[in-house]
Amino acid sequence: METVRLRLVRNHMVSMRQHRQRDAVFRAVADPTRRQILGILRGGRQTVGVIARNFRMSRPAISKHIHQLHKAGLVETHSEGTTTVCSLNAKPLREINSWLQDYEAFWSASLDSLKRYLEEGR
């Protein structure tokens, strides 16, 4: 519990930039098309062309979605000859998850402390 509290305090020290990054991740996964793209990439790296074939929308539209996922740090891209290959990066998702868990732990520790104080006077 103490470790959790300290981790939380550290997490409070997040900069505005990290906050924006978190917003970018939330924004990225809020869209069904982008979630589907992430789903495809979960099976392994894939070219933009192959990803686009799964959708009715145009390839430029899909590229735009991939660009947003890339900006949020969820998708890494690199060129292989004339094609662009995309792969999934789950790290930002893991970070958001641990941030939320830290907040949960903080309030849980505070409630336990309040209960102990009122019931046992310590």
State the residues that interact with other proteins by CB under 8 A: 1-2, 5-6, 9-10, 12-16, 19, 22-23, 26-27, 29-30, 35, 38, 42, 88, 90, 93-94, 96-97, 100, 103-104, 107-119
- Between residues 15 and 82, which has the closer beta carbon with respect to other proteins? 15
Consecutive H or E run containing 87: strand 83-88
Contact criterion met (CB below 8 Å) for 41 and 54: no
Q: CB of residue 74 vs other proteins: minimum separation in angstroms?
A: 9
Q: Least separation, in Å, of the C-beta of 39 and other proteins?
A: 10
* Helices first, then strands: H and E counts in the chain: 6, 3
In the bound state with other proteins, the residue whose beta carbon lies nearer, of 7 and 48, is 7
Q: Which is nearer to other proteins, 49 or 111 (CB)?
A: 111
Least distance between other proteins and beta carbon 81 (Å): 28
Contact 85/77 with Cβ under 8 angstroms? Answer: yes
CB of residue 59 to other proteins, shortest distance in Å: 25
Nearest to other proteins of 48, 96 (CB atom): 96
Contact 88, 41 (CB under 8 A): yes
* Cβ neighbours, 10 Å, residue 4: 15
Provide the CB-side half-sphere exposure for 22 (13 A, CA).
14
